Structure 1
Amino acid sequence: MIYTVTFNPAIDYVLEVEDFNLGNVNRSKDSYKYPGGKGINISRVLNILETDNQALGFIGGFTGEYINNYLRELGIQTDFISVEGDTRINVKLKSGKETEINAPGPNISERDLEALFNQIDQLKSKDFLVLAGNVQKTLPRDIYSRIQARCMDKDIKVVVDTTGEALISTIKNKPFLIKPNHHELSQIFDVEIEDREQAIIYSKKLLELGAQNIIVSMGGEGAVLVSQEGIYYGEAPKGIVRNSVGAGDSLIAGFLAKYSQSKDTIESFRWGIAAGSATAFSMDLCSKEEVENLVKSINIKKIN
């Protein structure tokens, strides 16, 4: 089973405004809302790709109930922990350029954390655990690393998708997969990474530090996979980018959907790129048909 953890979910409220005018009344031509948060996005795409998974994390108030009900109606298993306060609402304003306003979210208490730890302790050998997204500032920066430590003796494959110190602290625990984009990789090493060759150099350093598989996404420039099996480059398919939200999450979901069935790292990389691209070409997350159509066009090259 694949489990996703989202510490700080959100309702993403999308407003499309034809010509946004700051300081005046603006009327949207369209609006919609859906559950957000990296782990939740991964659960949704796994579900789209007909891969069983369970969404874990923290929700609160009427907004939290909306997320829980939405996911269950899609057929996704959930076991969220209820906390005090309301799950946040993030506003995505689409008017030519895309503008985001992200709220902070509720606090997580020690009691809430213990409840999550108890859930993690029930996972079994061969399960996958996805730790995705940033955590509230009131929590320890090494919280993902602490969760990893509870999994290390059980052969649980832990996937980490976060940034900065929170990501760095997990490397020593040998995560199965991490997925920084090239900007996030630059931040880790305090350098400017501008091309594929540089991305490979610094990904190899993460491999040496303990990460088992590193996928660096570079938008329209494709992605690189640095793993114990070798170094591979995947070209991004051609298409019109309509949505930047959830593409990286979809890449992880596509990878895991295929890997959980085949254990083939390279083919899983191909499916990851297809899912990430399909979401980028959509207004929301990808569809199964779109992913399957794009997979045929993804060219993977072995570099080393």
Structure 2
Amino acid sequence: MVDASKQRPVAVLSLNPAVDITYEIPRLIADQKVHASNSRYDPGGNGVNVGRALKRLGVQACTFCAVAGEIGRFLRHQLDTQLDQACYLEVEGETRINGTIIESLTEAQFEVSGVGPAVSTLQWTHLLEQFVTHCGEGLGVITGSLQRSLPDNLYADAVRRVQSAGGRAIVDCHDEQLRHAIEARPFLIKPNRFELETLVGHPLKDLNAIVREARRLQEQGVSRVCVSLGADGALLVTPSEILKGEAPAVPVVSTVGAGDSMVAGMVAMLVRGASDEEVLREGIACSVATVMQPGTELFERRMVERLRGEVGVTRLLL
């Protein structure tokens, strides 16, 4: 548990949260109704997941959300006990619903991301000002998708404002949003391997290639680059070293929320002033503990504590 009186503030931005519905079925059959063996409703959206995970790790954080309509009210009800603090921006329309289908016979997972409500530039600016004010000289987590009504460079604006105020921006997004955010020189970014390949425009066939591209991003002003590698763990490239974390083997139930849990784990260690090795280890432990959970349910803290000692971290000489 972090002493809230001594902790630097943590703000999490979640412009496009969702209600996540997960169905477990034997197998999808084209043009046929399939009855679920199990279903569940969870709060969703990357920023919301990070906020939920930080609460489980004992880190005080305020999550800034745009919500709309009846689905938005249902989401707020779900979040009442799952976030330490939230600031809601009410907009027109309906909060999106995301769907995940898990086939028990094939262990395949299908995900559909819904369409969120429109947010005007004026509304975005108002929420961003509150986000930056709360963040202060602490950590500002900028993550998730943007509504179609907003331009791709808005996260870059958020990064610049956080860092101009003396804070450190942590970014987890992809495609053009990530490309623009990198130009603003955030403290840390966390693409997965596919997102990094998309960013550079070609496949990365081995660890050397991943490290090379991460180093190039550092040359553009990003202090730390963490690349999540799924079952192979994660790579953290810092100004002084390259760390490779190995994930312990566990039964995988659902991968939804694993990346968000990794971000939360790293933020929790950064708040504590931990070493880069500890930051990477905690991120992997949280991610691995989350894939063991159904739907978009996140890790259990006791499982994180158990897995932490099973995460191997080595320094690479490449």
Question: TM-score normalised by the shorter chain: which range applies?
Answer: over 0.9
Q: Once the 2 structures are TM-superposed, how far is the Cα of residue 75 of structure 1 from its aligned partner?
A: 4.5
Map 1:185-200 → 2, pairs under 5 A: 185-200=196-211
Answer yes or no: is 1:294 the counterpart of 2:307.
yes
TM-score (norm 1): 0.96
Distance 1:124 1:286 in 2: 25
Answer yes or no: is 1:15 the counterpart of 2:62.
no
Indicate conservation of the 8 Å contact 1:8/1:105, yes or no. Answer: yes
The 1:198–1:117 alpha-carbon spacing in structure 2 relative to 1, beyond 3 Å, is same
Indicate conservation of the 8 Å contact 2:56/2:301, yes or no. Answer: yes
Distance 2:45 2:98 in 1: 10
How well do the aligned residues superpose, as a CA RMSD in angstroms?
1.4
Q: Once the 2 structures are TM-superposed, how far is the Cα of residue 51 of structure 1 from its aligned partner?
A: 1.0
Distance 1:118 1:176 in 2: 19
Q: Aligned with 2:314: secondary structure?
A: strand
Identity %: 29
Indicate the residue corresponding to 1:77 in structure 2: 85
Alignment partner for residue 37 of structure 1, among 15, 22, 45? 45
Q: Aligned with 1:123: secondary structure?
A: helix
Distance 1:148 1:246 in 2: 23
Cα distance per residue 1:126-180 (max 9 Å; x no partner): 3111111121222111000111222222221111101111111112322111001
Indicate the residue corresponding to 1:204 in structure 2: 215
Q: Once the 2 structures are TM-superposed, how far is the Cα of residue 219 of structure 1 from its aligned partner?
A: 0.9
The residue type paired with residue 217 of structure 2 is L
TM-score (norm 2): 0.92
Indicate conservation of the 8 Å contact 1:71/1:77, yes or no. Answer: no
Cα distance per residue 1:25-50 (max 9 Å; x no partner): 22211111011111111111111111
In the alignment, structure 2 segments of 5+ residues that lack a partner are 1-8
Distance 1:87 1:136 in 2: 11
Indicate the residue corresponding to 1:168 in structure 2: 179
Answer yes or no: is 1:92 the counterpart of 2:103.
no
Q: Aligned with 2:47: secondary structure?
A: helix
Q: Aligned with 1:23: secondary structure?
A: coil
Cα distance per residue 1:171-229 (max 9 Å; x no partner): 23221110011111111111101321111010000011011111001111121100113
Deviates more, 1:67-76 or 1:272-281: 67-76
The residue type paired with residue 234 of structure 1 is G
Cα distance per residue 1:217-264 (max 9 Å; x no partner): 111112110011311111111112211111111111011112201342
Answer yes or no: is 1:138 the counterpart of 2:149.
yes
Distance 2:281 2:229 in 1: 15
The residue type paired with residue 126 of structure 2 is A
The 1:302–1:115 alpha-carbon spacing in structure 2 relative to 1, beyond 3 Å, is same
Deviates more, 1:16-25 or 1:135-144: 16-25
Q: Once the 2 structures are TM-superposed, how far is the Cα of residue 121 of structure 1 from its aligned partner?
A: 4.0
Q: Aligned with 1:203: secondary structure?
A: helix
The 1:168–1:137 alpha-carbon spacing in structure 2 relative to 1, beyond 3 Å, is same
Distance 1:292 1:232 in 2: 21
Q: Once the 2 structures are TM-superposed, how far is the Cα of residue 124 of structure 1 from its aligned partner?
A: 4.9
Q: Once the 2 structures are TM-superposed, how far is the Cα of residue 20 of structure 1 from its aligned partner?
A: 3.0
Q: Aligned with 1:150: secondary structure?
A: helix
Map 1:245-256 → 2, pairs under 5 A: 245-256=256-267
Cα distance per residue 1:263-286 (max 9 Å; x no partner): 422211110011011111222211
Indicate the residue corresponding to 1:159 in structure 2: 170
Distance 1:173 1:52 in 2: 26
The residue type paired with residue 288 of structure 1 is R
Distance 2:51 2:136 in 1: 20
In the alignment, structure 1 segments of 5+ residues that lack a partner are none
Q: Once the 2 structures are TM-superposed, how far is the Cα of residue 114 of structure 1 from its aligned partner?
A: 2.4
Indicate conservation of the 8 Å contact 1:68/1:78, yes or no. Answer: no
How many residue pairs get aligned? The number is 304
The 1:146–1:211 alpha-carbon spacing in structure 2 relative to 1, beyond 3 Å, is same
Q: Once the 2 structures are TM-superposed, how far is the Cα of residue 118 of structure 1 from its aligned partner?
A: 2.5
Q: Once the 2 structures are TM-superposed, how far is the Cα of residue 7 of structure 1 from its aligned partner?
A: 1.4
Indicate the residue corresponding to 1:57 in structure 2: 65
Map 1:95-134 → 2, pairs under 5 A: 95=103, 96=106, 97-134=108-145
Alignment partner for residue 227 of structure 2, among 216, 220, 230? 216
